[in-house]
Amino acid sequence: MELFGLAILCVWLAACGGAQSPSGPQKLTAAQQAAQDQMDTAVAGANKTAAAYKAMDNVSLITKLNEQSAARTEPFNSPAYRELVGRTDVDPQALVAAVEAAKNGDGLLALLLVRKQNQKAYEGIPAEVRVAVLTDALRTEKRFNTWGLPGTYMEDAPKAMIEAGRSAVPALRKLLTDTRPTPMMGAKELSVAQDYHFRVCDYALAYLEKIEGKPAGPLPMALAARDALIREMMK
């Protein structure tokens, strides 16, 4: 079970099982017991996975990282990323090589990891390669938690996009016509995304506005208002 799903299950169990009778905790209902069993199984599986990844060497982990990046796994859901990010002996050039070999969204996790661990190596990656990885990952994303919420909060991927500055503008402008919906996980994120009906083009709009130095702030909730901003940005 992915981390978001496990967290939601934990919250549900806490809410449902928190009440106590004077004589002690109430007995779980059948549904609550089934959920508890599911959570116990998921926790045991997560611990087993973490232990297996901890036993791997860096070369094996980077191979796994690349596979999970190609599957569009979020950094927080990637066992390889979670293990590597805590290590201090990761060869930055191995990560750079993975990014430059991919030159598309398959290199996203390696790009985000080298950005976090070695800024000099990260800045040594040509801006056009970084932009190609980031924009392709945004274009082909399955779930958009990696990207946060446009105009509200940013994860590491959009921060890297904005750092690329004017180099990212041509590719982002191409995404201004992409009206594909952007599904998310997590109760709060999902609620905001559903209220706004965010699309890929809204993410591109938010990043272009940041690159152009426009005042920070949430995007308009109304689609028509965002579409007007997009038309203006496309001129």
Q: Which residues pair with 55 in a beta bridge?
A: none
Provide the 10 A C-beta neighbour count for residue 203. 27
Residue 202 and residue 198: Cα distance in Å, rounded?
6
Q: Please enumerate in sequence order all residues whose Cβ is within 8 A of that of 178, keeping only pairs 6 or more positions apart, or say none.
A: 139, 199, 200, 201, 204
The verdict on 100 and 171 lying in the same domain is no
pLDDT at 39: 64
The verdict on 60 and 144 lying in the same domain is no
The verdict on 137 and 230 lying in the same domain is yes
Percent of the chain beyond pLDDT 70?
Answer: 83
Provide the 10 A C-beta neighbour count for residue 67. 14
Residues of the chain with pLDDT under 50: 1, 8, 11-12, 18-21
Closest CA to 65 of 110, 115, 3, 122: 110
- Here the tokens at position 95 are 């990560």
pLDDT tens profile 99-118: 999 999 999 999 999 999 99
Indicate whether 103 belongs to any domain: yes
The verdict on 112 and 187 lying in the same domain is no
Tell which of 80, 101, 125 closes a domain. Answer: 125
Indicate whether 20 belongs to any domain: no
The verdict on 217 and 132 lying in the same domain is yes
Indicate whether 19 belongs to any domain: no
Residue 137 and residue 117: Cα distance in Å, rounded?
20
The verdict on 231 and 133 lying in the same domain is yes
The verdict on 86 and 139 lying in the same domain is no
Residue 108 and residue 112: Cα distance in Å, rounded?
6
Tell which of 83, 108, 125 closes a domain. Answer: 125
Closest CA to 164 of 120, 126, 108, 118: 126
The verdict on 143 and 216 lying in the same domain is yes
Tell which of 125, 153, 171 closes a domain. Answer: 125
The verdict on 82 and 159 lying in the same domain is no
Residue 162 and residue 145: Cα distance in Å, rounded?
17
**What's the number of domains the chain is made of?**
2
Indicate whether 97 belongs to any domain: yes
| Cβ–Cβ under 8 Å, residues 183 and 143 | yes
Indicate whether 13 belongs to any domain: no
Eight-class DSSP state of 28: P
The verdict on 58 and 120 lying in the same domain is yes
pLDDT at 95: 98
- Here the tokens at position 32 are 């609550």
Residue 204 and residue 111: Cα distance in Å, rounded?
19
Q: Please enumerate in sequence order all residues whose Cβ is within 8 A of that of 192, keeping only pairs 6 or more positions apart, or say none.
A: 149, 152
Indicate whether 46 belongs to any domain: yes
Indicate whether 17 belongs to any domain: no
Q: How many CA atoms, within 13 angstroms, populate the side-chain half-sphere of residue 99?
A: 27
Note the pTM of the prediction, 2 decimals: 0.81
The verdict on 94 and 136 lying in the same domain is no
pLDDT tens profile 23-62: 556 677 877 666 666 666 656 657 788 899 999 999 999 9
Indicate whether 154 belongs to any domain: yes
State the residue range of the domain holding 86: 34-125
Number of residues that this document lists for the chain: 235
The verdict on 136 and 106 lying in the same domain is no
